[in-house]
Amino acid sequence: MHFTLTEGGQTLPVVYPGPAPDLLGPGRTAIVEGRLGAEGLFVANRLILKCPHSYVEL
C-alpha cells in the first residue's frame, strides 16, 4: 500500500506492506515507524492510526 503523509505543507511518500486499513484517509492522524529509503520513500514496518478516542495499532 502506498500513501502520503502531510505535515506543515511538506509531504512524505510512504510504502507499507500491509493492506489499506479502513481508518486511513485524508485528515487522519497516523504514526509510522520504519526507515527512509531510496529517493525519499519512507518504508514503514509499523502503522498506528488515531481513531476518534484512541490509537489503533495495525
Q: What is the pTM of this model?
A: 0.74
Count CB neighbours of 44 within 10 A: 19
Q: pLDDT tens-digit profile of 1-58?
A: 889 999 889 999 999 998 777 767 787 888 899 999 988 999 999 988 877 666 556 5
The answer for residues whose C-beta is within 8 angstroms of residue 16's C-beta and 6 or more apart is 1, 2, 3, 32, 44, 47
Tally Cβ neighbours within 10 Å of residue 3: 19
